[in-house]
Structure 1
Amino acid sequence: MEQNPYLLGVDAKQAPDGDTLLDPAFETGFKVPRCPHCEGDRLKPDVVFFGENVAPQTAAKATSSVEQAGGLLVVGTSLMAWSAFRLCKAMVEQGKPVIAINHGKTRADELLEMKIEASCEQVLPWIAEQLGAR
Structure 2
Amino acid sequence: MREDLLAPPRDVDAAVAILRGQRVAVLTGAGISTDSGIPDYRGPGSPPRSPMTFQQFVGDAAYRRTYWARNHVGWRHVHRTRPNDGHLALARMEAAGAVVGVLTQNVDRLHQAAGSRAVIDLHGTYARVLCLGCGMVISRDELAVRLEALNPGFVEAVVADVEIAPDADAVIASTEGFTVADCEACGGLLKPDIVYFGENVPPARVARAMALVDGADALLDAGTSPTLTALAEALGDTHR
Using the size of structure 1 for normalisation, the TM-score is 0.45
Question: Relative contact order: is structure 1 or structure 2 higher (C-alpha 8 Å, sep ≥ 6)?
Answer: 2
User: Which structure has the bigger radius of gyration?
Assistant: 2
Q: Say which structure is richer in strand.
A: 2
